[in-house]
Amino acid sequence: MRVAISGSTGLIGSALVQALRWGGDDAVRLVRHEARGTDERQIFPEQRRIADPGLNDVDAVVNLAGTAIAGGRWTDSYKRGILDSRISMTETIVGALAADGRCQRFISGSAIGYYGPTGDRAVDESSPAGDDFLAGVVVAWETSASAAPVPTAYVRSGHVMTPRGGYIGAQLLPFKLGLGGPVADGKHWVSWVSLDDEVAAIRWLLRNEVTGPVNITAPEPVTNARWTKAIGAALRRPTVIPLPLPIPRLLFGNDFVDHAMLSSQKVLPRRLTEGGFTFGDTEIEPALTRLLRE
């Protein structure tokens, strides 16, 4: 299979490219800079076009591009960038697809932010959208992807676990120093997935006919308190100092802390499990021990 990937230098995209190539598939990176080799192709989202031959020589496309949610302070302009970067890239890819073309599979990035804060209530792909900022972004993102003329799946990813970045990345050093701890009271739910399972699920979707929303989250969400205890145990460090919320509020703004950092989401991967996908990491304690071993 020959697969085009946007966001191919990001956390998930780079791991996906590597896994595809190890598995004997071809990966074409859709990049904003001038192509530096035969495995790269320039994409111009502002102009809504892709350099020739577009997507005419690939079997599938995976769209993972977008401004990082936690990449900066949530000013009005940064929040616009979060939305616009996703819509422009998705519309560019959708416009390059044809119902009768070679490319007959579109995997579009999405997020569990779709559901908004769910508290202690478990949700799956049949649950309605939330009404906060991130839910609005995801709804618009998926709406753009829904215009694709080929079978399309929206991967609603949870918090990706890897020491190389994602949910763990920025927190790893304080925990290693014994300064990590729960966020607030630690009661909010974290819907997580290991990077290995994230990539495996996308590869599984590339070869199956599932369309529409698909949650990529481990079958067992955990509270922040349990996650904190698990990472402390994996690192053999204490986890008694709660995170001082004024610090992330200063760095990222109140909206980020209230609607992203403290958002409680208990999301279940019903469509993956019913479809026969097997998770490698199902419980947070052994997962973090494996991921953080030296």
What digits encode the pLDDT tens for the residues 61-103? 999 999 999 888 899 999 999 999 999 999 999 999 999 999 9
The SS3 of residue 183 is strand
What is the per-residue pLDDT across 243-282, written as a single tens digit (0 to 9) for each?
888 888 887 888 888 888 889 999 999 999 999 999 999 9
What is the per-residue pLDDT across 158-200, written as a single tens digit (0 to 9) for each?
999 999 988 898 789 889 999 899 998 999 999 999 999 999 9
User: Alpha-carbon distance 239 to 191, whole Å?
Assistant: 20
Instruction: Give the percent of the chain with pLDDT over 70.
Output: 100
Tokens 């993102």 sit at which residue?
141
* Structural domain containing residue 18: 2-291
> For residue 254, what is the domain's CATH number?
3.40.50.720
Q: How many domains does the chain have?
A: 1
Beta strands in 151-206, from DSSP E residues, in sequence order: 152-157, 159-162, 165, 189-190, 192-194
The 8-class DSSP code of residue 128 comes to P
